[in-house]
Amino acid sequence: MFTRAVTRLGRKRPPSEIHANEGSLNFQNQIFKGTQSWAASLDNLLHDPAGVAEFMDFLKKEFSDENLLFWLACEDFKKTEDQEEMKRKAKAIYTTFLCSKAPSQVNVEGRPKVGEQTLKLPHPLMFEKLQEQIFNLMKYDSYTRFLRSEKFQKLQESEGQVTGTSTAGESAPKRASRIYNT
């Protein structure tokens, strides 16, 4: 975890400010920008609209965008407060991604324990375990392929040209380590 008390500008920060920011996405995004942030973690990529768009484009070309669509639908579902809206979204998630005849069925272990009764009384975290499975599937499969893809390499190169930094010959994890430890 990042625990240095001195910012890049050399200004000392009080301990409360240091610990308040540790591990937060906002703090990480201050350090990493664009593709550098995306290469640091799948979580960073999924919380950046531009990253989601690029990752979605990559997944569509691989015919595996259902995982990201499911993850995004679950994120949206968790933020829903109105009970009727939650019922509608729960049913849509179930019929689109989880039932046996789903048009964009996701590959989750075991049969989802989502039935008619569960859909009638939805709660914000009802898809959480399934969403975690899909997150891990993306993290260890499609996300790693995305980072090695020609598409991602081109994005990094074009970003490097815009910012004036050269990233040629340096892997994404090595670059993230170099930036994080500066």
- Res. 172: pLDDT tops 80: no
- Res. 8: pLDDT tops 50: no
What pLDDT, in 10s, does the model give residues 50-101?
999 999 999 999 999 999 999 999 999 999 999 999 999 999 999 999 988 9
Q: Report which residue type is found at 84.
A: E
What pLDDT, in 10s, does the model give residues 123-157?
999 999 999 999 999 999 999 999 999 999 999 99
Where does the pLDDT of residue 34 fall: very low under 50, low under 70, confident under 90, or very high at 90 and above? confident
Q: Convert 86-128 into a string of H (helix), E (strand) and C (coil).
A: HHHHHHHHHHHHHCCCCCCCCCCCCCCCCCHHHHHCCCCCCCH
Question: Alpha-carbon distance 108 to 97, whole Å?
Answer: 10
Domains with residue ranges and CATH for the chain = 1-31 (no CATH), 33-61+149-182 (no CATH), 63-143 (1.10.167.10)
